[in-house]
């Protein structure tokens, strides 16, 4: 192109900001010759380059990509190659990635993301980041789809490049992204139900790494199209929860052309919100300075907020997207580094929460470039951080050190509420103070008015338990505790697990099936045992069963009925899990309160505790629990349901563990949908939904024993009656919780990671048992663990596998007997006995009757009675 006046074209040149300070002052071009530029040499002066460190300003390009190798990492990967054993079994990836299919460099990239996910999961910090908790799922899919694995390898290399600032590592990420994009395009061409999860996984992984506007929008619009196409089978997808979230938050933004100029002008109220955010960051900075802690991270964020205020309508969509690049990088990479370095200290968590909060605040300023999507990714970490800080406060003996962090978290939580409101997600208004809520908004101390009906309890289509019921007028109690006896025993009784009395018991010592023999004494009828929660026999009885010497021995019903129910309940609970659609989980009885024993059963998802309900125990005058502290705020973000129906606390305790472990346990689509549907409900409404769940009701009542007799009588329980109750203990979000539907809120017992659960739960159980008299032994503990058959197959223990398969077979037989109605059998036996007597003639029949009236018996009968009494 000709220059001005038609002369020769101007020579192109590039601008540089790296010239020496002397040349800059003279406004002349510096040749940047190091360590002395030619201009300074010409003017015979010392060049400022002489005073600059060579390595800092003129770093030599590395010859090899920096993947943060250590001798320990190299040894682990070599061992992985030699043995084929994945270094991170706690991620439960089966089958694990086969090392022979990957280069040593690729194995390092897999090792990196897996180690990050494993480390944060071990400290229950995975929910404080956007991506680490998803790594196991991505790895599982990547084993079958190479383009997904390449996208994951690119993510790992991108993270390492951010940590090391190594251009060669960034090139590795670029290469893997190219391969992943090519494979993704091919998979989209053959899109189907089978590869839909892989297409979605790769789209998400690549979108998280995109730093260019056009590429990111293409990926996000593709993601939206994939999610729309997956709607018919979304419940089968491994990304079901993510797909559900996208119905609330937009996946892709509008698509103005990158050069489009007419974008929205920042509103004054949005700029004011930004100023408020800056003021809040100043408070965080002052807090850190007061504690003598590093303020670089918060000052970096403050600088970003100041720069964002410069956004104007003249900026194109591409320019606005580029303005947010630093924040996006921080959101993805900074939390991992912070959590690894600080182990989740309160100050570090507060800083991370404010990074996520800034993503929410800037969303109105950048609506055209997908800020809402990145804001939505920040919601869960903010809420989980707030929950963790509250749990730390609960677990400490003194809360003085936590008041400032809790106060600083008020602002992020308020921004979460405002963001949800802007997105159209209506939610109940939060109380004024977080996380200490003002009392219990949904007290269960009062019964519902009879005019209100929230569920079809009177519907004959529901299956009612047909056990003998009784009620007890409740003593005056505080709202902090609810007796199971206050629940209406007739209209709410359909979820009852029936009594085990009267059905056969399989004696494993021989192949013969010996029915349980029960003799009822009418003189003891006033001592009826109400097993409404445990489903024990309702009459005082002497139960005779086979002992190890095959002789009959008589036991008190109050003890033997409990032991028998425990024996059968392992099978009942385990098959309840199977029928609910839960995979690879079973129950094991805890025979000792020993942390080492419990750890051997690991992974342990939770413990269900059965105990005699203390009807005479008085509640604390101040409304606090006997042990631990009520966490009313937790009930909003974890699954906690009030028990609104009698005789279902066992199933409810089981669900309390399951629905809080959906990340570790495959609970199946129906239970996932149930949890999602009740996510925003208060505890008592969740209880009502539980009682109305057709799946839960049908599965629960599938163990009911059919009977032609219905006993609808009721009586009032006395102090002599025994009432039993199930509660659950599990670790959620770094806190050990006691989940009891008869309490107004979850009870926090201090900090506890998933791995620490065996050590932390034992002292809590010991304190609970210690509240009873020393002679009380009626307790039982069931541990919810991974299917032991899986471990047996993993280690090749055929003997253990056989035992577990045999145990399952025995449980299945016992459950079949449990459901069986023996009335017809008993009638046929009675008719056969009478027929045999009649065949012997009237004299034999009358003789037998006269002998019984006189209390006498023949020698054979006497021997039989002695054996049975012995």
CATH number at residue 727: 3.40.532.10
> pLDDT at position 257, please?
41
The winner for highest mean pLDDT among 453-457, 523-527, 764-768, 863-867 is 764-768
How far apart, in whole angstroms, are the C-alpha atoms of residue 176 and residue 179? 5
**What is the pLDDT averaged over residues 335-359?**
89
Residues 717 and 632 occupy one common structural domain:
yes
Number of C-beta neighbours around residue 842 at 10 A: 9
Q: What CATH number corresponds to the domain at position 50? A: 4.10.240.10
Judgement on whether residues 116 and 222 belong to the same structural domain of the protein: yes
Residue 351, pLDDT above cutoff 90:
yes
Mean predicted confidence (pLDDT) in 384-402: 72
pLDDT of residue 412: 92
Mean pLDDT of 304-324: 80
Q: At what angle do helices 325-342 and 346-361 cross, to 10 degrees?
A: 170
pLDDT at 103: 93
Judgement on whether residues 49 and 84 belong to the same structural domain of the protein: no
Instruction: Indicate which residues carry an active-site annotation.
Output: 649, 725
**pLDDT score of 852:** 57
What is the structure's pLDDT at 593? Answer: 81
Q: Enumerate the H helices of 84-192 as residue ranges.
A: 104-122, 135-144, 146-164, 167-189
Count of CA atoms in the C-beta half-sphere (13 A) of 105: 15
Q: Which residue has the tokens 């910090």?
A: 125
Residue 25 sits in the same domain as residue 151: no
693: alpha, beta or left? (left if phi > 0; alpha if psi -120 to 50): beta
**112 pLDDT more than 90:** yes
% the chain with pLDDT above 70 = 66
Strand partners, 739: 728
Beta pairing partners, 731: 736
The total number of structural domains in the chain stands at 5
Residues 573 and 604 reside in one and the same domain = yes
741 and 838 share a domain? no
Within a domain: 559? no
Task: Tell me, yes or no, whether 105 and 188 share the same domain.
Answer: yes
**pLDDT tens digit sequence for 738-785:** 988 888 889 999 888 888 898 899 999 888 888 877 777 777 788 888
- Answer yes or no: is pLDDT of 356 > 60: yes
Q: What is the pLDDT of residues 799-837, one digit of tens each?
A: 778 787 877 777 767 666 666 667 777 888 888 888 877
Among 282, 231, 264, 230, CA closest to 371: 264
Alpha helices in 190-309 (DSSP H): 196-209, 213-229, 240-245, 268-290, 296-308
> What is the model's pLDDT at position 157?
95
Q: What is the pLDDT of residue 148?
A: 95
Q: 300 with 213, same domain?
A: no
The domain in which residue 403 lies consists of 268-422
Tell me, yes or no, whether 827 lies in a domain.
Answer: no
One domain for residues 199 and 316: no
**Residue 539, domain member (yes or no):** no
Helix (H) / strand (E) containing 386:
helix 371-395
Q: In this predicted structure, what is the pLDDT of residue 496?
A: 33
Among 377, 387, 340, which Cα is nearest to 355's? 377
Q: Which of 153-162, 275-284, 385-394, 538-547 has the lowest mean pLDDT?
A: 538-547
Residue 52 has pLDDT above 80, yes or no: no
Q: Look at residue 75 and tell me whether its pLDDT is greater than 60.
A: yes
**pTM of the entire predicted model:** 0.48
Is pLDDT at 218 greater than 90 in this prediction?
no
Report yes or no on 64 lying in a domain: no
pLDDT band at 48 (very low <50, low <70, confident <90, very high): confident
As beta bridge partners, residue 786 has: 585
Question: ∠223-115-374 over CA atoms, to 5°?
Answer: 30
Same domain for 863 and 808, yes or no, is no
Q: Which residues of 198-210 are buried (b: 16+ CB within 10 A; e: fewer)?
A: bbbbbbbbbbbbb
State whether 113 and 230 are in the same domain: yes
| Any domain includes 515 | no
Indicate the pLDDT class of residue 87, thresholds 50, 70 and 90. Answer: very high
Higher pLDDT, 646 or 669: 669
Average pLDDT, integer, range 404-430: 76
- Which of 35-49, 578-592, 712-726 has the weakest average pLDDT? 712-726
At 493, list the tokens. 């009784």
Distance CA 263, CA 368 (A): 8
Average pLDDT, the chain: 72
Q: Say if residue 371 is in the same domain as residue 335.
A: yes
pLDDT (average), residues 101-126: 92
> Is residue 3 situated within a structural domain?
no
pLDDT tops 70 at residue 523: no
Give me the sign of the Cα torsion angle 162, 164, 165, 167.
negative
Contact 187, 145 (CB under 8 A): yes
Residue 850 confidence class, pLDDT cut points 50, 70, 90: low
Checking if the pLDDT of 251 tops 70, the result is no
């Amino acid at each position: 192109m000709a220059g001005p006046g038609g002369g020769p074209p101007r020579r192109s040149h590039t601008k540089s900001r790296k010239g020496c300070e002397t040349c800059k002052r003279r406004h002349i071009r510096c040749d940047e010759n190091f360590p002395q530029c030619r201009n300074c040499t010409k003017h015979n002066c010392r060049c400022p380059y002489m005073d600059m460190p060579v390595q800092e300003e003129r770093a030599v390009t590395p010859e090899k990509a920096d993947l943060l190798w250590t001798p320990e990492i190299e040894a682990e990967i070599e061992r992985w190659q030699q043995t084929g054993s994945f270094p991170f079994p706690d991620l439960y990836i089966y089958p694990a990635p086969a090392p022979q299919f990957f280069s040593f460099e690729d194995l390092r990239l897999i090792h990196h993301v897996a180690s990050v996910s494993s480390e944060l999961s071990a400290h229950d910090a995975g929910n404080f980041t956007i991506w680490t908790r998803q790594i196991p799922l991505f790895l599982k899919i990547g084993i079958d789809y190479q383009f997904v694995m390449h996208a994951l390898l690119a993510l790992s290399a991108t993270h390492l490049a951010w940590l090391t600032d190594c251009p060669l590592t960034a090139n590795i990420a670029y290469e893997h992204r190219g391969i992943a994009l090519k494979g993704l395009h091919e998979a989209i061409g053959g899109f189907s139900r089978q590869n839909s999860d892989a297409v979605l996984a790769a789209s998400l992984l690549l979108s998280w790494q995109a730093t260019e506007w056009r590429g990111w929008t293409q990926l996000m619009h593709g993601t939206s199209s994939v999610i729309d196409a997956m709607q018919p089978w979304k419940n089968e997808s491994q990304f079901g929860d993510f797909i559900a979230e996208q119905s609330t938050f937009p996946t892709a933004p509008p698509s103005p052309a990158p050069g489009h100029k007419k974008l929205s002008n920042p509103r004054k109220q949005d700029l004011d919100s930004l100023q408020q955010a800056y003021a809040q960051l100043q408070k965080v900075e002052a807090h850190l300075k007061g504690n003598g802690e590093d303020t670089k991270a918060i000052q970096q964020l403050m600088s970003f907020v100041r720069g964002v205020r410069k956004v104007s309508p003249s900026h194109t969509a591409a320019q606005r997207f580029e303005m947010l690049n630093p924040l996006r990088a921080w959101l993805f990479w900074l939390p991992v580094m912070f959590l690894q370095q600080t182990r989740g200290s309160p100050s570090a968590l507060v800083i991370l929460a404010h990074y996520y909060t800034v993503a929410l605040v800037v969303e109105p300023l950048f609506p055209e470039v997908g800020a809402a999507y990145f804001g939505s990714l920040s919601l869960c970490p903010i809420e989980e951080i707030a929950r963790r800080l509250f749990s730390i406060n609960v677990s400490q003996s003194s809360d003085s050190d936590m008041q400032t962090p809790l106060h600083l978290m008020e602002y992020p939580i308020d921004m979460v509420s405002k963001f949800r409101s802007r997105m159209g997600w209506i939610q109940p208004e939060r109380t004024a103070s977080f996380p200490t809520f003002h009392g219990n908004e949904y007290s269960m101390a009062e019964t519902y008015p009879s005019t209100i009906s929230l569920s079809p309890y009177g519907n004959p289509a529901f299956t009612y338990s047909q056990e003998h019921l009784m009620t007890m007028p409740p003593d005056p109690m505080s709202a902090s505790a609810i007796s199971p006896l206050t629940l209406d025993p007739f209209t709410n009784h359909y979820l009852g697990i029936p009594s085990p009395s009267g059905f056969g018991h399989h004696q494993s010592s021989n192949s013969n099936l010996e029915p349980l023999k029960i003799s009822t004494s009418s003189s003891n009828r006033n001592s009826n045992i109400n097993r409404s929660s445990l489903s024990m026999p309702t009459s005082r009885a002497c139960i005779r069963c086979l002992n190890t010497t095959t002789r009959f021995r008589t036991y008190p019903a109050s003890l033997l009925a409990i032991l028998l129910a425990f024996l059968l309940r392992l099978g009942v609970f385990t098959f309840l899990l199977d029928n609910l659609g839960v995979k690879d989980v079973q129950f094991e009885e805890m025979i000792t309160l020993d942390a080492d024993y419990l750890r051997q059963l690991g992974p342990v998802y939770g413990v269900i505790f059965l105990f005699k309900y203390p009807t005479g125990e008085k509640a604390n005058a101040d409304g606090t629990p006997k042990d631990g502290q009520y966490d009313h705020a937790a009930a909003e973000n974890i699954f906690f349901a009030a028990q609104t129906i009698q005789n279902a606390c066992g199933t409810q305790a089981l669900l309390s563990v399951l629905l809080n472990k959906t990340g570790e346990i495959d609970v199946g689509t129906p239970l996932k949908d149930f949890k999602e549907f009740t996510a925003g409900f208060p505890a008592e409404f969740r209880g009502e939904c539980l009682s109305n769940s057709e799946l839960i009701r049908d599965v629960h009542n599938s163990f009911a024993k059919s009977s032609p007799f219905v006993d609808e009588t009721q009586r009032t329980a006395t102090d002599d009656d025994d009432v039993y109750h199930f509660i659950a203990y599990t670790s959620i979000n770094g806190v050990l919780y006691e989940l009891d539907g008869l309490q107004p809120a979850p009870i926090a017992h201090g900090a506890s990671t998933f791995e620490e659960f065996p050590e932390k739960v034992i002292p809590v159980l010991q304190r609970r048992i210690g509240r009873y008299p020393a002679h009380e032994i009626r307790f039982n503990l069931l541990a919810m663990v991974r299917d032991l058959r899986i471990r047996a197959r993993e280690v090749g223990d055929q003997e253990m596998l056989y035992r577990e398969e045999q145990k399952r077979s025995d449980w299945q037989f016992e459950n079949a007997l449990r459901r069986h109605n023996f009335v017809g059998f008993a009638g046929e036996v009675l008719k056969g006995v009478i027929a045999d007597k009649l065949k012997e003639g009237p004299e034999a029949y009358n003789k037998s009757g006269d002998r019984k009236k006189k209390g006498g018996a023949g020698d054979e009968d006497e021997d039989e009675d002695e054996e049975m009494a012995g």
